[in-house]
Amino acid sequence: MSPAGILIALLLAQTPPAELKVTRVVAHLNGVFSPRGFFNITVRLYQLTGVEAAKYDLKKTQITVDFKPGVAVTPEQMRQVMVSAGYKPGPIEIDLLTVAETSETGPGWVKIKHPSSKNPVVRWFQLNF
Amino acid sequence: MTGVAPGEFFFDPNFAKIEIHAKQIHPAGKSLPGFRYVIASRAPYALAAILLSASIACASPATFVTALPVARDQMIVRFNAQPLFSTRGLYGVQFPVNIGYGLTSRWALFANVNQGFASISTQRLNSSGVYDLLSYARYTLFKIDKPKSTFRVASIAGAYFPTGDNSLRSKRGLLPRSLQTGSGTVDPYAGVTLGYSAMRWGMAMDSTYRKNPVTHSGVSPADQYRADAQVEYKVLPLRMPDEGLPRLVVISIESNYVHDGKDHVNGLIAANSGGNILRQDAVLEMSTLRWQIGLGAQLPVMQDLTGTARSKQRSGFFLFFEYYLAAPNWRSARAHR
């Protein structure tokens, strides 16, 4: 390979890969008017792969869920979360954001735990306490 | 909801002298205990019932748990504490624990365990230990979820299991009903419950019946019908923030009606037992994403007790703490293997 070819190859290698997008889901809920209702939804989010954080808005009866970069979700999966928690799902909006756009958090944001211990008892304690 | 109010565990409408009808001789030929019984009828059972409710809607009554909301794979644990103050020297404290588990979005399972002690100071009698276990299932029959409100109706069915004792004795004979910790039998329990909730207020009601088979030995509590109603209002924050999940302060006004039939002692009807009671409760609750705590006051507004020289409940108070848990998830456990 010529020196010019080597130089071009090095430049290409240093080019950052395309940034993975973050999936943000905004879902409206029917029938949730208390913190306990939002916890019911949270329990289902624990079982959804790739959920990073969730934001609860009581006045709007709305939940906003951010997934880990690169993880995708379908509206049907989100509907299932709400139905299995015992609530009737409302409109669902899905957006793709950059990591920078999701870095800001505020009131109502909660980190969703995903314990990784192989011991189910330890995993359960990590999840709840 | 189990349909058992915390106050029920402590207060026995049949708390009075027991007078045996007609014969003073047990069918088996044994003489009945020779001292005057003081019987507090429902205390143990009601206490157990308090602890066992599943969640049906959004409202969260403090004095009955049959309407507690429980979602699939969710667990609710409610710890209660209620001192008992009554006339004729009966006092005590009960610590019921209610556990609810959401099997599916419509099915929920509940268990109420209760422990505590009670004493009749004037007679130097007391007892303590584990009371009867209440376990029931709740099925949501009907629900309407709207953007601004939700309404649900559910049926419940289960039983009290005789983990307590209905034949506790002292040197003077059988202890009064108020000091017994069980019914001695498996007691079927069934009812219906409903709840309505909106952004600022909610309500819940239930109606339950407990069938207590009569035993030939010990104290057999009578069958019991009860109806409860609750209205709650979120008083704080005054202005709900546009975003986020604020801690809520809720005022709950609750009523409990209890009708008791006649108790039996060693298979014979106790004359001074049974009646109707209506209690009014005011409860202050704080609610967050993972827990809820409440403090309530209870005032008996009607005590229509049959018989003579019946003991009446005094005003009291109670505390509860409720914690929400994600239940062990067996589906997820398989994924980790």
Distance from CA of B178 to the nearest CA of A (A): 36
**Is the per-residue pLDDT at B27 higher than 50?**
no
Q: Give A54's contacts in chain B (Cβ within 8 Å).
A: none
What pLDDT does B39 receive?
Answer: 32
The partner residues of B161 in beta bridges, in order of sequence, read B133
Handedness of CA B293, B299, B305, B309 (dihedral sign): positive
What pLDDT does B49 receive?
Answer: 39
Contact criterion met (CB < 8 Å) for B197 and A31: yes
What pLDDT does B84 receive?
Answer: 80
Beta strands in chain B (DSSP E): 74-85, 90-94, 97-102, 107-113, 115-120, 125-130, 133-145, 149-161, 169-170, 173-174, 187-198, 201-210, 219-220, 224-236, 248-260, 264-265, 268-269, 275-287, 291-305, 316-326
Task: Tokens 């069934």: give the residue.
Answer: B190
Cα A65 to Cα A29: distance, rounded to the nearest angstrom: 13
Q: Measured between CB atoms, which of A40, A56, A59 is closest to B71?
A: A40
Contact criterion met (CB < 8 Å) for B145 and A87: yes
Mean pLDDT of chain A: 84
Distance from CA of A126 to the nearest CA of B (A): 11
Q: Measured between CB atoms, which of A47, A83, A110 is closest to B332?
A: A47
Among A55-59, B5-9, B35-39, B40-44, which range has the highest average pLDDT?
A: A55-59
Q: What is the mean pLDDT of residues A1-28?
A: 72
Question: Residue B237: is the preceding peptide bond cis (ω within 30°)?
Answer: yes
Among B238, B289, B321, B322, pick the best mutation site for testing chain A contact (most A Cβ within 10 A).
Answer: B289
Instruction: Please count the CA atoms within 13 angstroms of the CA of A7 that sit on its side-chain side.
Output: 3
> What proportion of chain B, given as a percentage, has pLDDT over 70?
80
Handedness of CA B159, B163, B169, B170 (dihedral sign): negative
Distances (CA, A) of B288 to A2, A113, B15, B69, B323: 67, 18, 39, 14, 10
Among A10-14, B89-93, B211-215, which stretch is predicted with the lowest mean pLDDT? A10-14
Is residue A55 within a helix (H) or strand (E), and if so which, with residue range? Answer: strand A51-57
Handedness of CA B24, B124, B182, B171 (dihedral sign): negative
* B321/A contact by beta carbon, under 8 A: no
Q: Phi first, then psi: give them for residue B171, nearest 5 degrees.
A: -65, -25
**Is the per-residue pLDDT at B292 higher than 50?**
yes
Q: What is the mean pLDDT of residues A10-23?
A: 67
What pLDDT does A14 receive?
Answer: 58
Q: Give B202's contacts in chain A (Cβ within 8 Å).
A: 33-34
Among A58-67, B60-69, B159-168, which stretch is predicted with the lowest mean pLDDT? B60-69
Among A29, A33, A60, pick the best mutation site for testing chain B contact (most B Cβ within 10 A).
Answer: A33
DSSP state of A49: T
First to last CA, chain B: 37
Q: Give B73's contacts in chain A (Cβ within 8 Å).
A: 43-44, 47
Chain B residue closest in CA terms to A42: B326
Q: What is the mean pLDDT of residues B56-60?
A: 50
